[in-house]
Amino acid sequence: MYQYDEQDHKLIRERVAQFRGQTERYLAGELSEEQFLPLRLQNGLYIQRLAPMLRIAVPYGLLNSTQVRRLAHITRKYDKGYAHFTTRQNVQLNWPNLEDVPDILAELAEVEMHAVQTSGNCIRNTTTDQFAGVARDELVDPRPYCELIRQWSTFHPEFAFLPRKFKIAVCGAAEDRAAIRAHDIGVQIVRNDHGETGFQVFVGGGLGRTPIIGVAIRDFLPEVHLLSYLEAIVRVYNQLGRRDNKFKARIKILVKALGAEEFARRVEAEWEQIKDGADELPREAIEWSKRFFPQPAYKSVNGSHAEAVLRDQAGSDKAFSRWLERNTFPHRVPGYQAVTLSTKPTGIPPGDVTDRQLEAIADLADEFSFGEVRVTHEQNVVLADVEQERLYELWQAARKHGFATPNIGTLTDMICCPGGDYCSLANAKSIPVAEAIQRKFDDLDYLYDLGDLHLNISGCMNACGHHHIGHIGILGVDKKGEEFYQIQLGGSANEKASLGTVLGPSFSRDEMPDTIGKILDVFVENRQPEELFIDTYHRIGLQPFKERVYAKAS
């Protein structure tokens, strides 16, 4: 993974010193709440319902075991001994003291971490595929480009006070596991007819109050122009994006108002002026970035032998077989497999891990996966490079630490925002709904029979739980001071991205598990062999679900 040089270290140290001074001025009354707000946000610090929340950046989801151990230490020393993985591959602490935050940032800086631009109206952490570098369907490893984007966007002097937050995601594979069409800019790595690497560029995607799927404004951008093109997009947005209403300030609103063609024309006109300038990305810079993401020292393994051993183990142990089926992912190198550690056993808020679990993750990474860990946008943790011969051993260890719930990609592997239990924006709690659904559908055979099914829950229309792009999306709403839940069906985040459609009137929390049950019944009764929930939905439409769910009791 990327390693800081003296310049990176210096910049992050200077940032910590700057924020220490700002915090002191705020505590001394020299900075008003209003002035301190954007400064603390750009250092990851929110003031939440119950306490401050600190969002720590995990650039494109990649951590080493040293960093994970440092996070464990920080949760113990400054917080309540647990942390939360977010849908943007970051880590959140829910209970730090404001006065301690500069010290926390200094401790993070020692292990090449920070909380820069994890909030505020600036360019946020760039995200990507959790299986980058190992997926079989990958065209080009996206991480070297993500790192170049990280450097370009960090402390960008022109773009620190944009109309609104700005999120970039990069995908290098055939299947879009980074939800790039739900981002302000989505970058898809492609090859042209001459075999040259470049990018298809999407803009204006986003969730929130006005969910929109991003549109492609360029089908092939040569890689040398990556940063100048991003700069042109953000410059057009900085000048023209609305600043009079924060709910209309995202780039998606500008793209919609101008029309994608006109927006693209303006970007191209701006880009023409800068594309041959200093921001041109020379071949050496790309090669330099690639050297930080080398292929690990894989053993030469007899792939078919390893597969055979695995089949034997799976054949004699049902529980292992289930885990193998759901929680591992094919690897492009024979004899290896990627493993997802589930943070979603029933009864734990999705994405929450304790300090001990963080240390266990670090140990497992050192023992089984070259000391590297990835955070997924589904809030789980990936060990990307595990020998197939050691999967059984890893499974047993993961089970001991509570990471082996074999539910990845199933109904109970849900994305869920912190909701009304923590967040001051939320209309409704989301964690208890997630838990009630997990409790009702705890029969693994049933879950597997349902197959891949994404259920996403947001506690308000800001959509941090990505409910619009869940196959089943749940949105918490407030009705005269009471918490209700609206259901949407048919959303999808991948390369066939689509937004869900509202089923009908909302439900009380108690009604939710049974209502989800009725929706699943309609699917099971109507599906054709091999059909997933989303396929059946697309074939039969909303109506049959609606009829069942709202049928009058006879």
Q: Which residues bind other proteins (CB under 8 A)?
A: 5, 7, 10-11, 14-15, 17-18, 22, 30, 35, 38-39, 121, 148, 151-152, 154-162, 227, 235, 238-239, 243, 273, 277-279, 281-282, 284-285, 287-288, 291
Which residues does 113 contact at the CB level (< 8 Å), separation at least 6? 56, 57, 58, 67, 70
User: Cβ of residue 199: shortest distance to other proteins, in angstroms?
Assistant: 18
Cβ proximity to other proteins: between 38 and 451 the closer is 38
- If the CB atoms of residues 40 and 466 are measured against other proteins, the closer one turns out to be 40
Shortest Cβ distance from residue 150 to other proteins (Å)? 9
Q: In terms of Cα–Cα distance, which of 337, 334, 339 is closest to 300? A: 334
Q: Answer for the pair 74, 104: CB distance below 8 angstroms, yes or no.
A: yes
Q: Of 245, 272, 253, nearest to 211 (Cα)?
A: 253
Q: Which is nearer to other proteins, 273 or 508 (CB)?
A: 273
Q: In the complex with other proteins, which residue's Cβ is closer, 15 or 322? A: 15
Residues with Cβ < 8 Å from 407, sequence gap 6 or more?
326, 327, 342, 344, 413, 444, 447
Residue with tokens 């290896």: 336
Separation CA 158–CA 22 (nearest Å) = 21
- Cβ at position 67, least distance to other proteins in Å: 21
Q: Which lies closer to other proteins via its Cβ, residue 158 or residue 511?
A: 158
246 versus 496: smaller Cβ distance to other proteins: 246
CB closer to other proteins out of 5 and 443: 5
CB 283 within 8 A of CB 222: no
Instruction: Find the shortest distance in angstroms from Cβ 220 to other proteins.
Output: 23
Per DSSP, the three-state class of 428 is coil
Q: Name the residue nearer to other proteins (CB basis): 157 or 195.
A: 157
Least separation in angstroms between CB 24 and other proteins: 13
What sections of 79-142 are H helices per DSSP? 101-110
- Cα separation, 77 vs 65, in Å, equals 18
Least distance from other proteins to the Cβ atom of residue 143, Å: 16
Q: Which residues contact 336 (CB under 8 A, 6 or more apart)?
A: 134, 298, 301, 385, 386, 387, 388
Pair 385, 294: CB distance under 8 Å? no
Residue 547's CB is within 10 A of a number of other CB atoms, namely 11
DSSP string of 299-359, one letter each residue? ----HHHHHHHHHHHHHH-HHHHHHHHHHEEE-SSTTEEEEEEP---TTS-TTEEEHHHHH
Cβ pair 458, 469 in contact under 8 A: no
Q: How far is the CB of 277 from other proteins (least distance, A)?
A: 8
As measured in angstroms, the least distance from the Cβ of 491 to other proteins is 33
Q: Which is nearer to other proteins, 272 or 547 (CB)?
A: 272
Question: Using H for helix, E for strand and C for coil, what is the string for 203-219?
Answer: ECCECCCCCECCEEEEE
Closest distance to other proteins from the beta carbon of 293 (Å): 14
Query: Which of residues 143 and 235 has its CB atom nearest to other proteins in the complex?
Result: 235
Write out the H or E segment, with its range, that includes residue 62: strand 62-64
Measured from the CB atom, the residue of 235 and 344 that comes closer to other proteins is 235
Nearer to other proteins among residue 57 and residue 314 (C-beta): 57
Q: Which residues contact 217 (CB under 8 A, 6 or more apart)?
A: 201, 202, 203, 260, 263, 264, 267
Query: Nearest distance from residue 279's CB to other proteins, in Å?
Result: 6
Element (H, E) at 19: helix 6-27
